[in-house]
Structure 1
Amino acid sequence: MPEYLAPGVYVEEVSFRSKSIEGVPTSTTGFAGVTRFGPVQYSLGPTTTKPRLITSFTEFERVYGSLAPLDLATGERTAYLAHAARAFFNNGGRRLYVSRVFTPAAAQPVADFIAHLTVPTTLGAAAWHARWPGQDGNVLVDTQVMRSKNLAFEFPLVVGDILARHTWGVQVKSIRAGAVVEVSAPLPAVAPTGNVPLVAGNLRVINVDSDGRQTFIDNTGLPVPVAAGAQISLVELRVTVYGPDGRIDVYDQLGAHRDQRRDIGKVLELDDPDDENAMVYLDWLPGGNAFAPAALMVGLQSADKRLAGGGDGTLPSADDLGGKEANPDVVAERATGLEALGELDDIAIVALPDGGAMLDSDSVQAAADHLIAHAEKYRYRIAVVDAAANSSISEIREFRGKFDSKYAALYHPWIEILDPLFPTVPGVPPRKLTLPPSGFVCGIYARSDIERGVHKAPANEVVRGLTKFEININKARQDVLNPEGVNCLRFFDGRGNRVWGARTMSSDPEWKYVNVRRLFIYVEHSIDKATQWAVFEPNNERLWTNIRSMVEDFLYVLWRDGALIGAKPAEAFFVRCDRTTMTQNDLDNGRLICLVGMAPSRPAEFVIFRVGQWTADSKS
């Protein structure tokens, strides 16, 4: 209750309506697997290793690398996750989280697979390092010098100037402490320009005292005077990083001291660089000599260009793909693999594009186990499972028989595409590539949700971006697979390539269909998020009425949109939250219980027309 302590007029805001429920997103997808580059946790590495949200394949390539095969210790391997991301966006997906999995070979530390380059400096230790492990870290780093025009000047005599600045001698315009300048002979001598090699003896580091007076520190570490009339140019750096596949990153106007606005150590730091997708960082320990910034510039300009030592590691195991939970006692040990996706609340679909391409059938099964366990653990998401490539009818049935989950769906067969890395050349047969279906199917899930809604079965939808399916599934084969919960991908003459199934991997007929499972996930998650305000509210009729009203309003919209069956709302759903759902024991123990029942619309999987002869009655 508000307090009224002094006489006056009090205007207060109150609410006379129930709160509303906002539906959660259902098309956001999460992939875990092997990529060429990108955020991954390793000892003494960046702390910003959470899965990144990707909204286009162009963005994926910038963060996680290209479609090029990986050079693993086990041999060259197709970048299945990159291809899955491409298929996801081509098929209508819009939001994708990626959790990169990196496994070093032969139990080596991850640091052994990070490209680096030592920078020779006379003061302090410096080195370029790739931010993440991988061969894509073997980049070229070109550091060039940018020189300004002559900035030297002297203060004129001003009567009443208590600082007597006319006695300071040569100063430099618009310069902050820590700036590196180059001192040249007085005019008419020609000062160096462009990227002419720096000479340490000509460089000075500026120090500024509390009055604003500049002093010039040379390579001895001591302040020295500057001759009257000398030319002084500001020296800054331009760093150009040449990455794979023509990527070029440019960083301009860089200083080399922590007091500079664009200190190179901050702009290209390990943890939080200005460009969060920077490929490299500068490891720089300047020491105590005040001339160290100038020495760093000399070393960076003269250093070699190519980083070396980056490697792609080895093929992760199924357990590596599953990942580990974050260590609650050590902040630096964050979640990995699928478990890293578990920390993101808005993911509704998960897949392991590398899972179906493991080296043996046991590993494929173990990867599927991890994926399904992940979806069941976090409840509000569904797993899209891949079987092994080239699976026969008997093998796919055997694989399907090993699982029983209402939070997972299996799709078969694999999908053949034209390899985008090898453009078609006249007279040369195009190169083909076979990919697991999960990336395509996740994109179709997202497309169906956006265009029709989560209640619509993501089936009878066109699969984009393929040449054909790995094997041909005809009606006779699907008659065997469909009742067992294997969703087939089929080609129909005149109708193209389509997803022709919408069943989960559950033996429970109540949860037979993917869209029913996902509709309930959507409703449960939306109610969960929207009713958090009710915790610790007085557990009385007013609260019960408010909750009942907000849930009914939410379900009414679903019924109106066709997600629920029934000629009227009372036939489509009910919501009860009153004394009939709670005993006194529940109230005494702080429990509020609300019962919600829904009649979901199931897909018309079998459309049957019965046609017979009929003789019309004669009429006069």
Structure 2
Amino acid sequence: MTSPTALATTAASSLHLTLGSPGVYFAPDSVDVPQRGVRMDVCAFVGVAPRGPAWERADDPALDGSLLPAGRARSSAVPIESWAEYEEVFGGYGGPGLLPHAVAAFFAQGGRRAYVVRVVPCAPVPNPEPPARAVLTFSSQVRDGHGADLQLQARSEGRWGAWLTATLTFRVAALPAPGLDGRMLVLAPGSAVPTGTLLRLRPQGGADELRLVTGITRRPARDGTGWERLATLDAPVTGPLERAEEVTGILDVVDGDPARARSERFTGLGLTADHPRWLGELLSTSSRLVEPLSSLDAVLPADPRLAPADAVVTLCGTDRFALITPGDFFGTDPTDPQAPPAGLDALRDLPDCASVVVPDLYAPAERPPAESVSVPATLAGAGFKPCVPIPGSGPTRQPRVDLPGLRLDPSLHDDRASIVTLQKQVVAFAEQENMVALLDVPPGLRPRDVLSWRSSFDSSYVAVYHGWLRVPDPRADGLITVPPAPYAAGVIAATERARGLPFGPAQALLAGVVDVAEGPGMAARAGAADRDALGALNRAGINVCVLDRDGVRITAARTLARDPAWSQLTARRTVSFLERTLEQQLAWAVFEPNGDLLRDRLRLAVEHLLLDLFAAGAFAGGSPAESFFVRVPAAGTPAGPETGGADLLCEVGLAPSAPLEFLVVRVLRAEGDGMLSAEGGR
């Protein structure tokens, strides 16, 4: 192993520049070293929401003119940096899914950045009945380019669109008096009128007329002093002009959602597709509330008086939760290469996403309410009379919008096998994208079924958490049961930001958690049988949520890899961090000549990053030589068939440190000293 001092000397000698006769010489580039590592605290959440981006335009800049998905992606990854931002985009706790609870838990534990993907079913057939999106129709004051009523649609599907309203008003700005030459408007110097501008012109002694600028040209000025700009009009104007005005639009869109009102305003809008601030394009790319219903090339006021036009919902949107199936989470159908990207596909090639949680992968069967053993209250007296129950005194249950296409009961063998299949697909995606999938043990399993479920997995790209959590219901009084993986994602992110990547996120208190619904760690006064069960689960790589005296904790940070070298989550994340950082920050090596200088620069860059990790405590060795090595074979050395014929190979060996999971306290009785205690790590 080369020491850091010797390494610097080697690099300096490789970059030495021999000077000859006086002149100008080109010095080689300085050594490139990674300045900072990639983020590993960003987590993605994929689930069901009542609103949010869906069927967004992908590659085709033109609208498809229908509700079909031509040129659109079914799901989009939206970066979110707070719970308030999630509410703004995806609608808070509405809907039947667990996605909002998962995202709220992540930020409550200290997470700072997440990607959220809304899962929706396949596109409806043309003219669905009822439509998935709300449609807004403007009053007769404006028309589209074909003379029909102007219509917009809600940006995404769902009943939320029924709260939308919109108002289009017009602003006029006077232009310096232009000259008139048939269909050509001679613009005054300094007039900035782009192609596609709508003008309101008044001939002397006449009424206002609307004209469109179809092109801008120039010609030598008649007085010979320079050039003059000409605006070509779509129709001639008779007589000299008394006044000329430029017309632009102002669109106000209001979402009257009683839970969270939203609004947007777009100003300075062009009213034809040739204008640089064309209304249709701005709505398609910038609005989160609406977009044109169909292909739109112009918005034309019906009258030169330019009265404001209001739009109201004429067709309400619908929620299609009941149509969502597990296939909607896994993107493109391999049998249909033309299918639009969806679900997890939206997370591909994200440079900073390190973990993924899919809280709505399946919907566990809802357990029946516990039967009350108390004597029901009645209106009967002390005598023998019929018992009349008091209306409304019994327990009430709020009706729940179901996800029938995702409903699976983990207590049933066939349903449990289906859950395992779906979770394996998530793990396979995480392996492809170099992420860690955070999964939950299905609720309601007996201890032997938990270990049987765990035997289906063998991967360092997955960490699993046991013991669903009881937390306050944000929509009503009482508690609800939620999965623990999103809480673990927040703890992982907060731990990395506070202490660094090498430190495991185990034993951290979970904010906002009241109780553990099931599992061996659900009681603070666990007996010997519970401790034995905890030990068995820990050895199996299952991270258990435990109710302690001061709150709920996650006991460990392990993966489901059977190889002991990959059993710790910190080992997997450290290696993924290194792979991601080197892949992104050593891209310059692809374009360099393949020689000794390139190899020296590559070795120095990699060791620089590894030394930073060593200083942060990421490795088990007591020195750099005991913690890692970097090997870059000389040019011409065969790289081996497993490298795909690469002509440059860099091998990196690591010894990741294992996190401290247990503290052992020994209590001794020493003669003359009373009781003594000593702590030791294990």
TM-score normalized with structure 1 length: 0.77
Give me the whole-angstrom Cα distance separating, in 2, the residues matched to 1:402 and 1:61: 37
- CA 1:276–1:262 in 2, change beyond 3 Å: closer, same or farther? same
> Who is 2:136 aligned against?
117
Give me the whole-angstrom Cα distance separating, in 2, the residues matched to 1:213 and 1:517: 66
1:12-411 superposed matches below 5 A = 12-15=26-29, 17=31, 19-20=33-34, 22-41=36-55, 43-44=69-70, 46=72, 50-69=76-95, 77=96, 79-104=97-122, 108=125, 112-119=131-138, 121=143, 124=146, 125=148, 126-148=150-172, 151=174, 179-180=197-198, 204-207=210-213, 210=217, 223-225=236-238, 236-243=248-255, 244=257, 245-269=260-284, 273=285, 275=286, 277-281=288-292, 283=294, 285=296, 293-295=300-302, 301-302=308-309, 304-306=311-313, 308-313=315-320, 314-324=322-332, 333-357=339-363, 358-360=406-408, 361=410, 362=415, 363-378=418-433, 380-411=434-465
Give me the whole-angstrom Cα distance separating, in 1, the residues matched to 2:359 and 2:231: 60
Give me the whole-angstrom Cα distance separating, in 2, the residues matched to 1:280 and 1:415: 40
> Who is 1:191 aligned against?
none
Q: Partner amino acid for 1:281?
A: P
Give me the whole-angstrom Cα distance separating, in 1, the residues matched to 2:341 and 2:471: 34
Q: Which runs of 5+ in 1 are unaligned?
A: 1-6, 70-76, 157-161, 188-200, 423-429
Give me the whole-angstrom Cα distance separating, in 1, the residues matched to 2:109 and 2:337: 42
Query: What is the DSSP-based 3-state SS (H/G/I as helix, E as strand, rest coil) of the residue aligned with 2:294?
Result: strand
Q: CA deviation at 1:576?
A: 3.2
> Who is 1:72 aligned against?
none
- 1:547 equivalent to 2:602? Answer yes
Give me the whole-angstrom Cα distance separating, in 2, the residues matched to 1:142 and 1:264: 13
- CA 1:598–1:224 in 2, change beyond 3 Å: closer, same or farther? closer
Q: CA deviation at 1:559?
A: 1.6
Q: Conserved in 2, the CA contact under 8 Å of 1:56 and 1:94?
A: yes
Q: Partner amino acid for 1:39?
A: P
- 1:457 equivalent to 2:504? Answer yes
- CA 1:143–1:283 in 2, change beyond 3 Å: closer, same or farther? farther
Q: Conserved in 2, the CA contact under 8 Å of 1:325 and 1:340?
A: no
Q: CA deviation at 1:585?
A: 7.6
Q: CA deviation at 1:396?
A: 3.3
- CA 1:22–1:224 in 2, change beyond 3 Å: closer, same or farther? closer
Query: What is the DSSP-based 3-state SS (H/G/I as helix, E as strand, rest coil) of the residue aligned with 1:444?
Result: helix
Give me the whole-angstrom Cα distance separating, in 2, the residues matched to 1:611 and 1:581: 62
Higher share of residues assigned strand: 2
Give me the whole-angstrom Cα distance separating, in 2, the residues matched to 1:36 and 1:604: 42
- CA 1:604–1:381 in 2, change beyond 3 Å: closer, same or farther? same
Give me the whole-angstrom Cα distance separating, in 1, the residues matched to 2:42 and 2:468: 23
Query: What is the DSSP-based 3-state SS (H/G/I as helix, E as strand, rest coil) of the residue aligned with 2:104?
Result: helix
Give me the whole-angstrom Cα distance separating, in 1, the residues matched to 2:427 and 2:115: 18
Q: Partner amino acid for 2:45?
A: F
Q: Partner amino acid for 1:321?
A: F
Residue-pair matches, total: 559
Q: Partner amino acid for 2:157?
A: P
Give me the whole-angstrom Cα distance separating, in 1, the residues matched to 2:191 and 2:30: 64
Q: Conserved in 2, the CA contact under 8 Å of 1:179 and 1:260?
A: yes
Between the aligned residues of both structures, percent identity stands at: 27
Match for residue 608 of structure 1 among 664, 668, 682: 664
- 1:500 equivalent to 2:524? Answer no
Q: Conserved in 2, the CA contact under 8 Å of 1:459 and 1:502?
A: yes
Give me the whole-angstrom Cα distance separating, in 1, the residues matched to 2:632 and 2:230: 75
Give me the whole-angstrom Cα distance separating, in 2, the residues matched to 1:127 and 1:458: 52
Give me the whole-angstrom Cα distance separating, in 2, the residues matched to 1:368 and 1:12: 56
Q: Which moved more, 1:351-360 or 1:41-50?
A: 41-50
Query: What is the DSSP-based 3-state SS (H/G/I as helix, E as strand, rest coil) of the residue aligned with 1:383?
Result: strand
Q: CA deviation at 1:349?
A: 0.5
Q: Partner amino acid for 2:490?
A: G
- 1:469 equivalent to 2:516? Answer yes
- CA 1:564–1:168 in 2, change beyond 3 Å: closer, same or farther? closer
Q: CA deviation at 1:464?
A: 1.7
Query: What is the DSSP-based 3-state SS (H/G/I as helix, E as strand, rest coil) of the residue aligned with 1:87?
Result: helix
- 1:522 equivalent to 2:609? Answer no
- CA 1:279–1:419 in 2, change beyond 3 Å: closer, same or farther? farther
Give me the whole-angstrom Cα distance separating, in 2, the residues matched to 1:86 and 1:236: 42
Q: Partner amino acid for 1:138?
A: A
Cα deviation digits, residues 503-525 of structure 1 (max 9, x gap): 21122222221112212222233
1:581-620 superposed matches below 5 A = 590-615=646-671
Q: Partner amino acid for 2:331?
A: G
Cα deviation digits, residues 104-159 of structure 1 (max 9, x gap): 49x7569741222345538614321223222223342322434548x487579xxx
Q: Please report the RMSD computed on the Cα atoms of aligned residues, expressed in angstroms.
A: 4.3
Q: Partner amino acid for 2:288?
A: N
Q: Which runs of 5+ in 2 are unaligned?
A: 1-20, 56-67, 218-227, 364-405, 674-682
